[in-house]
């Protein structure tokens, strides 16, 4: 099997660590305390992270992963976003 290097980048509190723990242990961390959605992080993909990775790693395949999909239906989270004039990200 060929070894590959995987670099995970993104804004704080978007689920990077939890995703890596889940992948390496094949289980969701029991004692992990989730954080509130940072809806601005979706905007940072195009404005910050894609240019940064493309600059330092040209010709490298990029995989975009969206986390916290389960919180789109969480009423407490939706209410907090609404209070800030925001809404969950959808595929529409």
CATH of domain 16-83: 3.40.50.300
Q: In this predicted model, what pLDDT tens digit does every residue of 48-88 receive, in sequence order?
A: 889 999 999 999 898 888 777 778 788 898 888 888 888 77
Q: In this predicted model, what pLDDT tens digit does every residue of 10-57 receive, in sequence order?
A: 877 777 888 888 888 888 777 766 555 555 667 788 888 899 999 999
Per-residue burial over 12-32, b if 16 or more Cβ lie within 10 Å, else e, is: eebbeebeeeeeeeeeeeeee
pLDDT score, position 86: 80
- Sketch the domain layout of the chain as residue ranges: 16-83
pLDDT score, position 58: 92
pTM here is 0.57
């Amino acid at each position: 099997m060929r070894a590959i290097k995987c670099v995970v980048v993104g804004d704080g509190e978007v689920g990077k660590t939890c995703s890596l723990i889940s992948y390496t242990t094949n289980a969701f961390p029991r004692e992990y305390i989730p954080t509130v959605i940072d809806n601005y992080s979706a905007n940072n993909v195009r404005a910050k992270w894609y240019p940064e990775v493309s600059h330092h790693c040209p010709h490298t395949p990029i995989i975009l992963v969206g986390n916290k999909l389960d919180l789109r239906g969480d009423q407490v989270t939706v209410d907090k976003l609404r209070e800030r004039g925001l809404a969950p990200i959808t595929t529409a």
